[in-house]
A and B are shown apart, each in its own frame.
Chain A
Amino acid sequence: MKDKGEAIIDRRGGTAINVALTVILMLFMLACLCIGKYVISPRDCLDMFTAAIFGTGDNSGWTQMDWNILFSVRLPRVLASVVVGSALALSGSVYQSIFKNPLVSPDLLGVSSGACIGAAVAILLALPQFGIQVAAFIGGIIAVALTVSIPRILKSSSNIMLVLAGIIVGGAMASILGFIKYVADPETQLAAITYWQLGSFSYVDMGLLLNILPLTVLAAGLLLMMSFWIGVLSLGEREAQTLGANVKVLRGTCIGCATILTASGVCISGTIGWVGLVIPHFSRMLVGTNTRQMLPASLLLGGAFMLLVDTVTRMIGPAEMPISILTGLVGAPFYAWLLYKQRNRLR
């Protein structure tokens, strides 16, 4: 029996919804491992996992071809899309909370394009994979630092100013990226950078994913553990401090972790728009604003959404579409609908 306070806190059933979302995400992952141009039955899929994990099991149903497709092609891709979707949605939610601004997202703050530039420079310099990751992170941090410092220099803390600062930084980043593309080798590097700028999961490999995963999981874990305080920070710096927040350390840690998440996403799949903006809003609508429920919800929804979109991209058409094309096509009208639903709350 829940007491009254708890019933109110959880009046939207946020905990139950999060459990349900976890189950749905699992089922989605299983389904997406099975479907594609080459179909594997769910049963064979589970058998192969049993065989891979325990070394034994029923191996009557599946062939070596099934095995290769499952573990070398589909599994890295499914994992990558879930990781990237979760990372982008969670970092978007965290940015929105700590900048107390529902209009910002990793794209708008320039983090995505900054990370993109960092990675593109690393590609031009032919750095190894680890170097690309570090460069993407540094690019992301520089971009967010620039965006955040513009309102400070102008001594304005309004929501609009932060958005404008994001547009300024984003514009500059786009030019820099344009320049990098201009000097890149048109035969090889240019195509890679362009394709990658629109985001894609087709070149994901398990090695890269396993390299990036630990840091990503750590950053996401830290943010989820700090979810209550992220809510306190969303009241604004001064109020958060009078409620006992060590604002500099907390904010710094949150921005650092969220930027790691965005940069990791960019490393894995290139820049993918909209997810970091739309999913936080959708999560708030679903489980309420309490960050302790809203942050996990956005993580789960982001993963599920990206998985869905990626599965659609690999199903339709003879050649694969870059994924940002579809996230934009789905995300923009979806965002319009969310704004329509929340029109009374937004001012």
Chain B
Amino acid sequence: MGYSVEDVSFTYPSGDHPVLDRVSLTVKPGEIVALLGPNGAGKTTLLHCMMNLLKPSSGSVAMEGTDIRDLSARELAGKVAYVPQTHEPTFDYTVLDFVLMGRAPRYNAFGHPDKGDQKRCMEILEELGIEKLADHSYLQISGGERQQVMIARALAQEPEIMIFDEPTAHLDFGNQQRALTMIHKMAQKGHGVLMTSHHPDHALMIGDVTALLYRNGRLESGKTQEIITENRLAEVYQTPLRLIEIKELGRKACLLPGIGTKE
């Protein structure tokens, strides 16, 4: 079951060729799916189709067998949390106010979070080790902290599935590691995770399943160890690159060849 994309195609009204071409993918509880693809291949488009933000030209997306088009925005938000790339909001909400907005799916248009929700959100911030940020302005914390706060807000939705759009974008090495660790922890707790990334290494580090989105809109997915090969990555990124087993790390690493050095 889980969260499944079935035969989804998508063409932008102004485009002549499909951005997504009969894409199928399943995110199961407790599993991390890493979505890799070149710039402009349509990773975000796929995520938007999965969040009902865009309507697929054909095919469907289903949450536990129910087509998401039959779910209200509130029902979907109660099951699937979307973590967009970090951005600056217009108004400087406090971190806690911001995280509290993750409780929104529980309330109708006239409702608002109560004390229980505040308590739950403080617990989530504590679990993530960022409770000190609670009364900080969301505009005045660092990019890494902001990413963690976005994750906290997604957790406040208490979703079954979490979808991350480039959770490591604009983060330094340490913060990338922290974000990935956090995502790994989410999956261990039973959340199904889909994340996009520009680093094949991230897929190798935490991806149970890796999906490769090619320029022509086709998607190929399978167990990370099987799907990630030098040939496929070279095809995806249109550049030769190397996959090297690093004994000290106990994993493969994806490396670009040097520039101006001999192979």
Contact = CB atoms under 8 A, between A and B. Distances in A.
19 contacts: A3-B118, A5-B115, A5-B118, A5-B121, A8-B135, A9-B100, A97-B91, A228-B113, A231-B93, A234-B90, A238-B84, A242-B51, A243-B101, A243-B102, A244-B73, A245-B104, A288-B94, A345-B92, A345-B139
Interface stretch (B75-83, B180-188, B245-253): B75-83
Nearest to A231: B101
B244 interface: no
A81 to B, nearest CB: 28
Given A9-B118, A290-B97, A235 B89 contact: yes
B69 interface: no
A18 to B, nearest CB: 15
Contact of A11 (B76, B110, B122, B135): B135
B89 A244 contact: no
Question: Secondary structure at chain B's binding surface: helix, strand, loop or mixed?
Answer: mixed
Nearest to A249: B109
Give the one of A97, A159, A289 with max B CB within 10 A.
A289
Interface residues of B, number: 44
B109 to A, nearest CB: 6
A196 interface: no
B96 A9 contact: yes
B243 interface: no
B96 A8 contact: yes
Contacts of B82: 242
A226 B110 contact: yes
Interface in A217-254: 225-229, 231-232, 234-236, 238-239, 241-247, 249-250, 253
Contacts of A235: 89, 101
Contacts of A288: 94
Contacts of B74: 244-246
Contacts of A314: none
A243 B89 contact: no
B90 A102 contact: yes
Interface of A: 3-6, 8-9, 11, 97, 100-102, 159, 225-229, 231-232, 234-236, 238-239, 241-247, 249-250, 253, 284, 288-290, 292, 345, 347
Given A100-B91, A225-B110, A246-B109, 8 more contacts: A4-B122, A5-B119, A228-B112, A228-B113, A242-B51, A244-B78, A289-B97, A290-B93
Contacts of B84: 238-239, 242
A5 B124 CA distance: 12
A177 B56 CA distance: 46
Contacts of A292: 112
B53 interface: yes
A101 B73 CA distance: 24
Contacts of B104: 228-229, 232, 243-245
Contact of B91 (A102, A242, A246): A102
Interface in B62-79: 72-78
A97 B101 CA distance: 15
Given A5-B115, A228-B104, A228-B112, A244 B93 contact: no
A245 B88 CA distance: 20
B11 interface: no
B97 A9 contact: yes
B52 interface: yes
Contacts of A245: 73-74, 104
A55 B88 CA distance: 59
B111 interface: yes
Nearest to B113: A228
B37 interface: no
Contacts of B48: 238
Contacts of B144: none
Contacts of B96: 5, 8-9
Given A242-B82, A289-B97, A228 B77 contact: no
